[in-house]
Chains A and B, each alone.
Chain A
C-alpha cells in the first residue's frame, strides 16, 4: 500500500508541468484556472494529504456511524464511524493514481500505435487495426473480471487491465485523425523531402492531433474512474480496508436516504476531479493560440 504508482508517477509529471504552467498561466481562461486549481488540489491531496492528517485519524473507527459534519469530523463519518475526510484523502491516491496512470497509458499507447499505423505502410496498419479490433470485441467488464479472477486484484493489475481495455478506443480515434492529417499536402511535402517515418509521426502528425487526443484523454479518464468504481462495487477493485472514491460511494450508500455527507463527499470528489480534468484540457493555452494563428 505504501509503494503505490502514485508516489512514483506524480512527482515525475510535476517538474514537466511547472515551467509550462508559469509561462502559460495567463493563457488559461478563468474556467481553465479553476480546473487547474481543483486538479492541483487533488494531486497535492493524493501526494501529501495522508502525511498532513493527524495520525490515527484514518483508522479511528468506533465513533458515531454516519455522523454529520462537525468540527471534529469535517466531512462526517462513514458506515464504520471512520473519519470521512481521511477516507476521501486516502482514496485520492487510488483514484488519481490508478485512473490517471491507466488513462495516460491507454492514450499514450493508443496514440503511438495509431501514428505508426497511419505513417507506415498498409500491412502494419492492417495488422494493428485488426489486432486491436479483436480486443474491442471482448466486453470490457468481462475482460476485467477474467483478469482479476486470473491474476488477483492488485494496483498494478488494475492499472494494466484498465489500460488494455481503453487502448483500442484511443487507437481508433487517433488513427482516424492521423489518417486525415497523413493525406494532407504538408505530410506529402515531408515525404518527398525524404523524411523518415518517425519524423512524420512525431513532428508532422502528432502536433496536429494532440488537441482532440487530449480531449479524448479527459473523457477516457472519466470512463476509467467509472470502470474502477464499478469493479470496486463488485468487490474486485481496490480491496478493503483501502478504498478508492468509487468504493467509498458504494460503502456509504446507506447514508443516501438521509442525505449524509459520507456518500456525497466522495461523489463530489469524483465529479470535481473529472470536471477539472476536462476544464484544463479544454482551456490548454496552445489550442486557443493555434486558432488565433499566432503565438
Chain B
C-alpha cells in the first residue's frame, strides 16, 4: 500500500537559473501521477527531488516534500540514503545503462534488500522470482542467474522494475521507462508495469513526454513547461478538455495527421529501383552470402517526388537498407538502379554526382553534426564541395538554407552544442538539402525528439517535399510518424520485406498480420486503450 505524497512550493535552481518554479501538488495513496512535458521542462528534476536528490550543479532552494509522514527535504543525508531504494524507488529510462554488466541480474535485483537489511538473502531471492513471474518475464526461476547482456531491452526494463519493487516501496518513480523501447515491446512493458502498480496499490509518479502512454497509466496528469505547472487534472479531463493551450498543442502533436502531399505527376519517373537486394556483415562464403546476413531479397520502387516509409522493430534491417542504398555497405546480392542507371556498390566507386543525388539524414542530431564546426561551416562544406561556391553567393545560399528549414540566420555562427535537439535536426536536414539531392534517406529523424518538436520537424519534411519535389525514404519504428508523411509503407521484419501498404489503404484491411500487430501496438490517445487491447487479446482464447 502506497503513501500519500505532498509537494509544496518546490523550487530548484541551477546557479541563477530556475529549473522548477514553486511547484505544488499532492498524490493520494495508491494513485499514479504523470509528469508530462518536453525535455528541459523540469520533469526529471522534479521526480528526483521527490527523493531529496538534486543533480550536480542544481539545488533544491525552497519547498517541502512529504512522503507519508516523512519530511524528505529536512532529512540528513544518511536518513535520505535510508529512504532511497526502500521508501522511494526509482526506475530510470535506460535499463541497459543502469545495470552493472559484470554481475548477475539476481545479485543486482536483490541488492536493495541487502543494503537496507529488510530480509534474508533467500527470502529476497524467493520474492524476486515472484516479482519476475508477476512481471511476465520468461523462465522466472532461471532469469536471475543471467547477466544483463543476455536478456533483451524490454526484459531488462522489467527487471529494473523488479529491483525497484523488491523492498515494497511506498512511492515508485518511473522516469520514461518505455521511451527507449520498440512499440511492440513497449506495450508488454506497460502492461507489466500497470499490473504491478495496480496490484500493489503503490503510489507512483510516471515521467514521460508521450501523452498516449501516460493515458494508459495515470490517474492524474501534471503538465510542466519551463519548470512551471501549466495544468493539473484527471487524465480523462486533460485528454477530452485540455484547458491550457500548451496542453492542446501536446495533444495535437500526439495525434499526427497526414500531411498534405504533392500530387505525383500522372506518369511519374522511376527514381530508385531496388532489386533483390541482400546485404550483411562478416566474411562472404562461396555462394556470396555474408556470415551475418541482415537483408534478404528486398524489392522496392520509389518514384520521383514520392515518400516511402520503412517500418520495423530494431534489428529488422531498415537502417542497413538505407546504408546499402547510400553505398556504406556493399550489397552481397542484387543491385540498385538510380535514375535508370545501376549504382556502384561502394562509395569509392561512385562519382560525385551520384553521391550528391542521395543524401542521408541520421537519427541522432548530436552525433551527426561535427561539434567543433560552426553551423555556417557545416552548411558551407557541401556547397563548396559539390558546387564550388564561395564568397558572397555562398553566404547568401547558407542564409537561404537556414530560412528554408526555418532557423534564424543568427544561428550560423554558433557551434552545434549551443542548439536544441530540434534545431540540430533542422541543420541536419539543411545540410542534406544543400546538396540539392533527388533522394533523402531519413533514418529515424524524429525518434530522439519530443512529440511537439518532432511534429514540427515532420511538418518541415512534408513542406520541403511539396516545395522542392524531393523524394524520401523515411525509416522509422513509429507507425504514426510514417503514416503522417509517407505515401506508402514498407513493413520489414528479420531483414525481409513483408508487405507494402499504400496510403489509401492504411485504414482498410486486411493487412499482413505483422503490420496489424504494429498498428495495434501504437498507444492511442484515450483512456482504457490498453484494457481494450487486452480484452481483444483475451477474446480469441476464450472463443
Contacts and interface: CB of A to CB of B under 8 A. Distances in A.
A188 interface: yes
Contact of B367 (A184, A190, A194): A184
Nearest to A181: B370
Given A193-B382, A194-B352, A290 B370 contact: no
Nearest to B441: A192
A189 B431 contact: yes
A12 B297 CA distance: 61
Contacts of A191: 328, 347
B369 A294 contact: no
A139 interface: no
Contact of B417 (A194, A195, A207, A292): A292
A193 B382 CA distance: 7
B385 A186 contact: no
B418 interface: yes
B355 interface: yes
Contacts of B404: none
Contact of B371 (A188, A190, A208): A208
B151 interface: no
Given A194-B347, A295-B374, A189 B417 contact: no
A292 B416 CA distance: 10
Contacts, number: 71
A295 B327 contact: no
Interface in B371-397: 371-374, 381-382, 385-386
Interface in A176-227: 184-186, 188-195, 203-204, 207-208
A73 B208 CA distance: 73
Contact of A192 (B326, B373, B414, B418): B326
B368 interface: yes
B418 A292 contact: yes
Contacts of A258: none
B367 A185 contact: yes
Contacts of A295: 374, 413-415
Nearest to B353: A194
Q: Which of B370, B386, B413, B415 has the most CB of A within 10 A?
A: B370
A293 B364 CA distance: 17
B150 to A, nearest CB: 25
A181 B146 CA distance: 33
Nearest to B374: A295
A134 to B, nearest CB: 27
Given A189-B362, A192-B359, A294 B418 contact: yes
Contacts of A186: 367-370
B417 A188 contact: no
Contacts of B369: 186
A2 interface: no
Interface in A272-295: 289-295
A193 B371 contact: no
Contacts of A195: 385
A203 B381 CA distance: 11
Contacts of B382: 193
Contacts of A293: 414-419
A24 B53 CA distance: 38
B25 to A, nearest CB: 33
B373 A207 contact: yes
Interface string B324-342: 0011100000000000000
Contacts of B367: 184-186
B416 A204 contact: no
A292 B415 CA distance: 9
Contact of A208 (B370, B418, B419): B370
A6 to B, nearest CB: 32
Nearest to A191: B347
A204 B367 CA distance: 12
B415 A192 contact: no
Given A208-B371, A208-B372, 19 more contacts: A185-B364, A189-B362, A189-B368, A192-B358, A192-B359, A192-B360, A193-B355, A193-B381, A193-B385, A193-B386, A193-B435, A194-B347, A203-B373, A207-B373, A289-B415, A291-B417, A294-B415, A294-B417, A295-B414
Pick the 7 closest A-B CB pairs, nearest first: A293-B417, A207-B372, A293-B418, A185-B368, A185-B362, A194-B355, A185-B367
